[in-house]
Chain A
């Protein structure tokens, strides 16, 4: 077994490096995704009204977007480098599933974003108002569509669909582009992600504008920006909650172990309640009925959210590890046995081919296209790499707390937008010093919520790089773990320096205000 070789330091460093890069990359993306819509809306008001104040406002936020975009641009490329270096088995195994969406993403990002961003920044006095406005909208659309392709690829890892594994090449091959593109997980992930960007950007705009109001600088710009951002943010946060509900339903269907970890649910039950707030008790046994030290639970809500039925059974972690025949859930050891059969078949195929026994090789290859073998064995291929039951249980405290931080903050943001909209509509904002002082501090919370969402999505599905098919231990390149550690440290230093540079430039640009706004003089 692979587990008998000590790969854990290598896997841990490789995972840490990927997580570091992804989290750093994600510091820039959501603001870009969200603020482009706000800028396009502000410019639309400018074009409609002809009021130069709106042009000034638009150009100021465009400047901040430009800083964020420029420093964040291409940070995602490092993730692709890591696929090739640290996760070579994985990057080969996924085959053309990543190739096609990422190629479209690259072309789209290059042509749509770079062309229209140039018009956005350089074209104020060189193209017509309407052409400039169209460019701003196309930047927003292009940036968000770019995100679509990478999220489609990520969704496939969470729920592989529209593909077939070719044992000859050891790669997955796309059988239906549309199944990959329109998988419900992909659609929901895309909508949830872009709406989270809209929420974060709205908080950013409100937080910065509140600072201007407190400093008694640019009050018209600040008040108008808050109005636009609070309306947009409120609508986006409602959409975020709805798409979050969609995500929960998808997870219940395709990654039920993740759902159990998100809720700290060890023993499944009917009429399962949703833990609104809770603290896990590390001393309690994991098969205890209740592992919480403190919790506030909403009865039946988890059953209803996950399955649309308040009576429905929600499986817990122990139902997956030990199995639950009455619910038709296989235990981990049963899945391991099925996965081993799939791996053995692949081994026999490889050996038959090497020995030149083409008849046997062809017969074994055909199994990988046989529905019964696919449903009963290949579906559990990844379980064939490790016998240990605990290996298949994600980090419950981290998943649980990340999920609850994200949800609690998400609902808090909704209240935040509603309050700012209320104060704005009543013309009370300049007097609401407490809320103005609070608003800038909500910005880091928005980033925490956004990163926490990815922690849930990615750590909650461990040990899988591709759900049920390829665990991290089989996906990793067999490198010296010391080398990966060195690059981790190198990246950590580089990313920290760049992040400090961005924050410095951003803060300077905010303090400078909209005096000579825009990318050109």
Chain B
């Protein structure tokens, strides 16, 4: 496949090229540069989507949609000095919102379903996956309870892995404000999570 033709070069350049430089090549239709950006950010985007929709599996599909959308819009989008994460998170936010709107009814049904009614496979892996998804759903609900400004900082720093300075640049607020929102958001998240977990075990 021609997309892979310059893979070796890309892998070498991986260590020296910033997202911004790579994006210049992406804008010139260089799919190998885009693959490097993909490898750098796929985990962060996947986690971002999983926390928005409450499912790691659904996040698989949404992640590919995010990267396809970023490619589609490559000519009119630009990458900031902080890297491609803010750009990709912005797209992910829209993609997740679209998904949630489309599947609102199904999600409500899932949330209404008593957890006890889920038939568990005897495999420990399956049980572990179910636990992980339950934790993720609790986290999603807790995040939804946060004020928008705190949620944005939590999503960028604690889920997306952005540093404080990069998040400050993306949100156009001082780094000190990021830190304080992070701190307040974290505390509030812990309280919300405890309440959600308590209500689920009742």
Does B bind A?
no
